[in-house]
Amino acid sequence: MDERSQAFFRQLLDTPSPSGFERPIQDVVRAWVGEFAHEVRTDWHGNVIAARHPAPNQPSPMKIMYAGHCDQIALMVEHIDNDGYLYIQPIGGFDMQILLGQYFTVWTKSGPVPGVLSRRPPHLLTNEERNKVPQFTDVWVDIGAKDRADAESIVRLGDPVTYQLQYRTLRNGLAASPAMDDKVGLWVVMEALRLISQRNIQASVYSVSTVQEEIGLRGAITSTHSVAPTVGIAVDVCHATDTPGNDKKQVGDTRLGAGPVIFRGANINPRVFDLLESVAQTHKIPVQIRGVPRATGTDANAMQISRDGVATALIGIPNRYMHSPVEVVHLDDLVNAAKLLAEFALAVTPEMDWTP
Q: Which residues of 170-190 are buried (b: 16+ CB within 10 A; e: fewer)?
A: eeeebbbbbbbbbbbbbbbbb
Give the pairing type, strands 288-292 and 261-265: parallel
Separation between Cα atoms, residue 193 and residue 205, nearest integer Å: 8
- What's at 307, amino acid-wise? R
- What's at 188, amino acid-wise? V
Q: Specify the residue, 22 or 181, whose C-beta has the smaller distance to Zn ion.
A: 181
DSSP 321: S
Q: State the nearest-atom distance from the C-beta of 53 to Zn ion, in Å.
A: 28
Check the annotation: does 27 bind a ligand.
no
Q: Is 209 helix (H, G, I), strand (E, B) or coil?
A: strand
Q: State the nearest-atom distance from the C-beta of 181 to Zn ion, in Å.
A: 4
Q: Specify the residue, 236 or 343, whose C-beta has the smaller distance to Zn ion.
A: 236
Separation between Cα atoms, residue 161 and residue 158, nearest integer Å: 9
Check the annotation: does 214 bind a ligand.
yes
Q: State the nearest-atom distance from the C-beta of 191 to Zn ion, in Å.
A: 17
Q: Specify the residue, 159 or 181, whose C-beta has the smaller distance to Zn ion.
A: 181
Q: Specify the residue, 151 or 338, whose C-beta has the smaller distance to Zn ion.
A: 338
Separation between Cα atoms, residue 185 and residue 216, nearest integer Å: 17
Separation between Cα atoms, residue 343 and residue 249, nearest integer Å: 32
Q: Specify the residue, 193 or 217, whose C-beta has the smaller distance to Zn ion.
A: 217
With CA atoms as reference, report the closest residue to 4 among 27, 41, 31.
Answer: 31
Q: State the nearest-atom distance from the C-beta of 137 to Zn ion, in Å.
A: 26
Residue pair 268/313 in contact (Cβ under 8 Å)? The answer is yes
Check the annotation: does 236 bind a ligand.
yes
Q: State the nearest-atom distance from the C-beta of 100 to Zn ion, in Å.
A: 23
**Which one from 191, 213, 327, 343 is the annotated catalytic residue?**
213
| Residue 343 annotated in active site | no
Q: Which residues contact 161 (CB under 8 A, 6 or more apart)?
A: 18, 74, 75, 76, 77, 86, 88, 104, 105, 106, 107, 115, 141
What residues line the site for Zn ion (CB under 5 A)? 181-182, 236
Q: Which H or E run includes 300?
A: helix 299-304
Q: Which sequence positions are flagged as catalytic?
A: 213
Annotated binding-site members for Zn(2+)? 69, 181, 214, 236, 323
